[in-house]
Amino acid sequence: MSIIYETTGRAREYFELAANLYSGCEHACRYCYGATVTHKDPKEFFGKPRVRGGVLKELTKDAARLPSNEVRHILLSFVTDPYQPLEEELKITRRAIQILHAEALAVAILTKGGLRATRDFDLLNKSDLFGVTLVFEDEATRAIWEPYAAPTGERIKTLRMAKERGIPTWVSFEPVFDPAQTLSLIAHCADVIDVFKVGTLNYREEGKMINWKKFAQAAVELLDDLGANYYIKKDLARHIGRPQGIRKGLLPK
């Protein structure tokens, strides 16, 4: 398949199937690894994002090739954002959801696009997942690191709106720059999150300053107290002797 792909490594801990509809991302988060993993010049990746050539045609072919009993979600997206500003005009993600649903395939969304994503809530159903990335509770800090992404409060609002429509929700708590902010976000947003996925901070020097064992212990204790469905990624779980990761509850693939 050319658009839908089997994930590997750290990405596979979240979802086993994914598709990137865009090349590049206008959100330009300072910690983003997208340009690196796609071997793109950062100025091009963040400054001149575009739709991948023939993406909807190829997605249609890929979707038809998957077995009729496929139950795994197809994530939109890992390396880019399905609801970056380009999507408002182009509606590529909307069409992609329709294509995948036509083959009875479940969709998982991961975005920092905020309310832009709610336009497609009429398409999503209880078999799908709507998710956001939450990193910073402090808005001033968020604006520095995620300059063109939606504010944290707006992302949380979209989770609540999805939840009210009966769409299952999830959150990626990664990267983690400030454990205290992450734990506070987990506690304050628990009522609108169906699945929690928690990681660390990779590829950055700031990660060396964090007591990951203390954070992992606190995260597990908090999530258990909340009775949550969660996955603690291997990079974090290894600090408390669980290198295989920690899964609790019914988690989607």
- The model's pTM is 0.95
Picking from 171, 157, 165, 60, the residue whose alpha carbon sits closest to that of residue 122 is: 165
Domain at 4-248, CATH class: alpha beta
Alpha helix positions (H), 66-126 = 86-90, 92-102
pLDDT tens digit sequence for 183-205: 999 999 999 999 999 999 987 88
Interval 16-36 mean pLDDT? 93
C-alpha of 176 from chain center: 14
Q: State the chain's mean pLDDT as an integer.
A: 95
Provide the pairing of β-strand 169-173 with 107-111. unpaired
Alpha helix positions (H), 117-172 = 139-145, 152-164
pLDDT tens digit sequence for 108-117: 999 999 999 9
Count of other CB atoms within 10 angstroms of residue 192: 17
